[in-house]
Amino acid sequence: MMSHEYAKAVVKEGDCVVDATTGNGNDTVFLAELVGCTGKVYGFDIQHEAIDNTRKKLEERGFLERCVLINDGHENMAKYITEPVKLVMFNLGYRPGGDHSIATKGETTMQAIRAALEKLVVHGLILVVIYHGGDSGFSERDYLLAKLPELNSKICAVMHMNYLNLPNNPPMLVCIEKLKQTD
């Protein structure tokens, strides 16, 4: 997965990072491994079941102590995160195996991206995997692609990556690098 390759390139042991959509916990486990026992992962999801599944996976691997799981929307992350973060990862859409009607939404995702930018260290990264296809994701994709170019180019650089030859609406990746501290 390209998002994981980018995460590996920037995250070091001891870093503080955020999984903005824990879902079934796969990305949270991946990030918890990357930051090591001296690092910290904040994980957000609005579904109890997602938080429970994530907690179970982290416990099985002995990673729970380095993680803070929060059953609230990522748009509220500023309330919970007390330190600067190196990376914030969003895997948009609905939880695989869960209710398709409980999915991320363009407006709240954009609020969360702005909140994440405030918390990010300079040269820190926000990774957004946009799923669009099947029964949802199109309006969130369109909303984000309209709003992301409005982010201040003095503060961050936004890159948008697409697969050109894969079938069935493959996911898109957006990488946002923080260039300068916000005042």
Task: Concatenate the DSSP letters of all residues of the chain into one string.
Answer: -HHHHHHHHH--TT-EEEES--TTSHHHHHHHHHH-TT-EEEEE-S-HHHHHHHHHHHHHHT-GGGEEEE-S-GGGGGGT--S-EEEEEEE-SB-TTS-TTSB--HHHHHHHHHHHHHHEEEEEEEEEEE--BTTB-HHHHHHHHHHGGGS-TTTEEEEEE--SS-SS---EEEEEEE-S---
Contact segment (CB under 6 A) with ligand SAM among 17-25, 117-125, 155-163, 172-180 equals 17-25
* Residue 3 contacts ligand SAM per CB under 6 A: no
* Residue 102 contacts ligand SAM per CB under 6 A: yes
The CB-of-160 to ligand SAM minimum distance in angstroms stands at 19
The CB-of-28 to ligand SAM minimum distance in angstroms stands at 7
Contact segment (CB under 6 A) with ligand SAM among 15-23, 116-124, 141-149, 158-166 equals 15-23
* Residue 27 contacts ligand SAM per CB under 6 A: yes
The CB-of-23 to ligand SAM minimum distance in angstroms stands at 2
According to CB under 6 A, which one of 91, 119, 128, 144 is a site residue for ligand SAM?
91
Contact residues: ligand SAM, CB under 6 A: 21-27, 44-47, 50, 73-75, 91, 93-95, 102-104, 108
